[in-house]
Structure formats: structure tokens, C-alpha cells
Amino acid sequence: MTGRLQGRVAMITGAGSGIGRASAELFAAEGAAVAVVDLRADAAQETADKITASGGRALALAADVTSAQQVEAAVGQAVAEFGSLDLLYNNAGIDSRGSVAEATEEDWDRCFAVNVKGTFLCSKAVVPHLRDAGGGAIVNQGSVAGLVAVPNFAAYCAAKGAVASLTRSMAVDLAPQRIRVNAICPGTVFTPLMEPMLRARGGGDLEAGLAKTLVKYPIGRLGTPEEIARVALFLSSDEASFMTGSIVAADGGMTAQ
């Protein structure tokens, strides 16, 4: 199926890598013009170049989602380039290792700044444009870590739990403005974010870390960025028109047991 986002303009944060990049490419292939936002300008440009090389429309924007000023500038540039905004995927995120006893105050603050404040700031900047467009959809990136405890990821679990709560709150507040808000909670997906975690879990051995992780996955494998991108596409499209405030696990059964 193609053209599911024909005529739409999407902003995707953290789109220079992993799930964000796969989503930017998929949204563009489905007809959306995509504002590719990332902290790393080169990574954002690489994603945008891949999209334009395939005949899609994309604009690379360097911004730190924890900075209101940078977020507003990026949103302004996207609207100047594409004329409007219909969709936002708050995907940018970082993990943070350690139990409460081990994590530092800095770890906690940075984890909440990117995962929670970033989602707040980007949504705040984009909502007036979605309203102007007559409505739209926002997808927030949660995690299974926001649904169940993942050992030794205290700040990350708390931050992704906050993203789920914020999603419900936004869904209720923005429904009268025809803006749907949902969250995806992916299980482990093999991306640059996850590789160090898997290695650490295996005592430095990636394969051992992978084996330990797979025990928790009834489906017997990790997810792919493209599988999460397809969930984001569905939630962003009109096919999900009766869905708002939903916290959707895409986790190979990890939280089902």
C-alpha cells in the first residue's frame, strides 16, 4: 500500500538513526514531506539525502529537543519549507543505565530532559500548527521500560513511564482540536542505542547479551526499526482515526508474560 500519508507534512525527531531514520524513510515513501530533526546535523542530512535520492521530500534540521529555542527554530523552518505541519513523531530519546543507587543526578536529569521535556517542548511548538491545519496526529516514543521494570534502568523506566502518562494527558486535552496522540512502547530493537546495553548485559560479549535478552521475548528475536516505523505509520495515518490516548506495545510479546 502506498500514499497513506499523501499530502501530509511530518516532523520526526531523532531521525538521524535507528527507528527515527526508518520512520522518516517510510513516512516519505508513503507520501509525506518529512522534517528530519536530529541533534547531529550530519546524521539528519544523511537521512534527508536518502529520502530525496528515492524521490521523496525531506528537510534536515539540526536541533536539540531539550532546547525550546532550537525546537521552535526547527518547527519554524519546517513550516517555512513545507507550508504546514500535520504529524509529529516524538522519537528522540536516550537510555540511562543504573539502579537508583548507581545512577547519578546528571544521568537522571539528562534522561528526563531528552525523553520527557523533549516530548513536551516539541509537542508545544507543533500543536498550534496542527490546529491551523485542522487537526493532526502525534506519536510519542515510549518503551516497554515504561510498562514493566527493566533491571538497572531506573531513570529510563521512570522517564518512559512519564511519556505514557503525558500521552494520555495530551490525548484528552487535544482531542477537541482534532489532534490524536498515541504512544508506542517498543521492546528491544537492534539499533545503535541498544548495542552498548546488549554488550554490557553479556559482560562485554554481544552474543551473550543477546541470548540473555531473547529469553524475555516469546517471539524469539529482537525487533527491527522498520517494524516500529510501521506502527508509527499506522498511528499517524487516518487508518487509526479512532485511536487516541493508546499506549501500544510493539514488543514481540515481552510484556504479555
Residue 252 contacts ligand NAD per CB under 6 A = no
- Tell the smallest beta-carbon distance from residue 250 to ligand NAD (Å): 9
Residue of the chain from 19, 126, 171, 233 that contacts ligand NAD (CB under 6 A)? 19
Residue of the chain from 73, 193, 206, 243 that contacts ligand NAD (CB under 6 A)? 193
Distances (CA, A) of 85 to 76, 81, 88, 96, 129: 10, 10, 8, 31, 6
Size of the site for ligand NAD (CB under 6 A): 30
Please count the other Cβ atoms lying within 10 Å of the Cβ belonging to residue 161: 17
Residues 142-161 that bind ligand NAD (CB under 6 A): 143
List 156, 191, 249, 252, catalytic entry: 156
Tell the residue number behind the cell numbers 528522540, with chain if given: 92
Distance CA 37, CA 40 (A): 9
Q: Is 180 helix (H, G, I), strand (E, B) or coil?
A: strand
88 in Cβ contact with 138 (< 8 Å): yes
Q: Which stretch binds ligand NAD (CB under 6 A): 93-101, 165-173, 200-208, 237-245?
A: 93-101
Q: Which is nearer to ligand NAD, 52 or 67 (CB)?
A: 67
| Cβ contacts of 78 within 8 Å, gap of 6 or more | 9, 11, 35, 59, 61, 85
Residues 25-44 that bind ligand NAD (CB under 6 A): 38-40, 43
Distance CA 75, CA 28 (A): 18
Residue of the chain from 45, 66, 152, 167 that contacts ligand NAD (CB under 6 A)? 66
Residue 119 contacts ligand NAD per CB under 6 A = no
Q: Nearest to residue 20, comparing CAs of 34, 7, 32? A: 34
Is 156 tagged catalytic? yes
Provide the annotated active-site residues.
Answer: 156
Binding residues (CB under 6 A) for ligand NAD: these are 13-14, 16-20, 38-40, 43, 64-66, 91-95, 114, 118, 141, 143, 186, 188-189, 191-194
